[in-house]
A and B are shown apart, each in its own frame.
Chain A
Amino acid sequence: MTKGKRNLISKVNLKLSQSQVNRLITISIILVVVASILGISSSVFLQKTSDGFSELSLLMYNSLTETYEANNYPENIVSTANVSIYFMVKNFENSVRYYQLQIKVVDLTHNVSAQQPIFTHSAFSLYANNTFEKILAPATNSEKKETEIFTRDYIWSPTEIILYVNSEVVSEITTPSVLKIVFELWEFNTIEKNFQYSGIFTFLELNYGVS
């Protein structure tokens, strides 16, 4: 067969009639359906764990509205009157979490970092051993969209902490009249079998007085 003949045959093969196009579409649909079944089943049963996050917040209780709000934080603390504050933790990770909240009192100038926790020896012993612990279920996709919710399986409901100062703390603080109360969130590591700093923290700066 000459070159010219071969070219002609290939030209004829390229010309598709309407019925051929229909058949090709049918085959494509079948392939797409099969691929979709495989894709859906793999996405359902071989779930990829995307990165989640944990949320730590400080709240105040508003007795008028009978709700918690991230507002009206205390600014002063004196040794004769304690200060009440609430913390709340939400588990937006994709698996169960065993949380621990550590509270530490430091100088105002003390740097707080997401990389390293405040070492216990540099924090005053008043709160250093004061820890709270809770195991939380992860939030579902619909729960992740919820707002203004304070009680769910994935939420460490607002928990009251009574903050106080005494002469011992005041004597150790070098910054005049102001102290920093740091709230660090730690997570239990099942491999290391101990709590490790999650890098999540918040703090409160308070003017203090001994009287």
Chain B
Amino acid sequence: MRKYRKIILILSFVGLITILCNQSLIVQGQTEQQASTAIQEADDKLTYALELLEAIPRYDGDIRSIILQIDIARQLIKEAKDYFTNSSFTVSYQKAITATSELDSIIEEIETKTHNQNQNKIIVLSIVGVLSGFAAILFSIFFISKIYPWYEKKKIDEYSKLEIKYDDLSGDVK
């Protein structure tokens, strides 16, 4: 019975080692593909982040610090590509994944900033619009209640000063 137990243990050990070896080969084989995909994904994220930045109307201090972060992510992607060229796929993959993760948070930050900037723009334009509308209404009220009656009154006053002289012969006004 003990003999069998030993054989079973040895066989299990050999089986385990074989599975681990195969697994490591699969992982090694997958990493090149994964690294390539991860680099491509990071590149796409970088392009998208730049597209978002190009659409921003104002580059304040926060946006400028975001640009610095994007440049750091770009550096990571470059390193990932260099490692990929040197067949260090695992490091390349890790670098690309880190870049993607950083770019994700940067993109989120840019979108929040853009949203806030747009909201502020809408608020200020709304205030200006409301104030302009209010000024226009006030002016209309002022015009109707004061200026126009004053104009009419003045016109009547001016007319009342008119001296009409009729020519006895022709009847025309002089």
Q: What does the 1/0 interface line of A6-42 toward B look like (CB < 8 Å)?
A: 0011001101010010010001001001100110010
Contact partner, A8, options B50, B63, B173, Cβ 8 Å: B173
At the interface, yes or no: A153 with Cβ under 8 Å from chain B?
yes
Given the known interface contacts A4-B173, A15-B158, A95-B54, the answer about A34 and B135 at a Cβ–Cβ threshold of 8 Å is yes
Q: Which residues of B contact A45 (CB under 8 A)?
A: 57, 121, 124-125
What 1/0 flags go to B37-75 for Cβ under 8 Å of A? 000000000010011011011110001100110110010
Contact A5 B173 (CB under 8 A): yes
List the A side residues contacting B154 at CB < 8 Å: 17, 20
Interface size on B, residues (CB 8 A): 35
* B19 CB, nearest partner CB in chain A, Å: 43
A151 to B139, CA, bound (A): 54
Q: Is A160 an interface residue (CB 8 A)?
A: no
Q: Which A residues are in CB contact (< 8 Å) with B50?
A: 96, 98, 135, 188, 190
Indicate if the CB atoms of B139 and A41 lie closer than 8 Å. Answer: no
CB-CB under 8 A from B7, the residues of chain A are none
Q: By the criterion CB–CB under 8 Å, are A47 and B57 in contact?
A: yes
- The CA-CA distance from A5 to B50 in the complex, in Å, is 73
B132 touches A38 (CB 8 A): yes
Question: Does B169 interact with chain A (Cβ within 8 Å)?
Answer: no
Flag whether A105 is at the interface (Cβ < 8 A): no
Give the distance in Å from the alpha carbon of A68 to the alpha carbon of B53 in the complex. Answer: 31
For residue A147, give the distance in angstroms from its CB to the closest CB of chain B: 20
How far, in angstroms, from A137 to B67 measured CA to CA in the complex? 6
Report B152 CB to chain A, min CB distance, Å: 12
Q: What's the nearest-Cβ distance from chain A to residue B63, in Å?
A: 7
Residue numbers in B under 8 Å from A5 (CB-CB): 173
Between A and B, 18 residue pairs with Cβ closer than 8 Å are A5-B173, A12-B159, A12-B162, A23-B150, A27-B147, A34-B135, A41-B124, A41-B125, A95-B53, A96-B50, A96-B54, A133-B74, A133-B78, A135-B70, A137-B59, A188-B47, A190-B51, A193-B47
Q: Supply 15 further A-B pairs (C-beta < 8 A) apart from A95-B53, A96-B50, A135-B74.
A: A5-B173, A15-B158, A20-B154, A23-B150, A30-B135, A33-B135, A34-B132, A37-B131, A45-B121, A45-B124, A47-B58, A96-B67, A133-B78, A134-B71, A136-B67
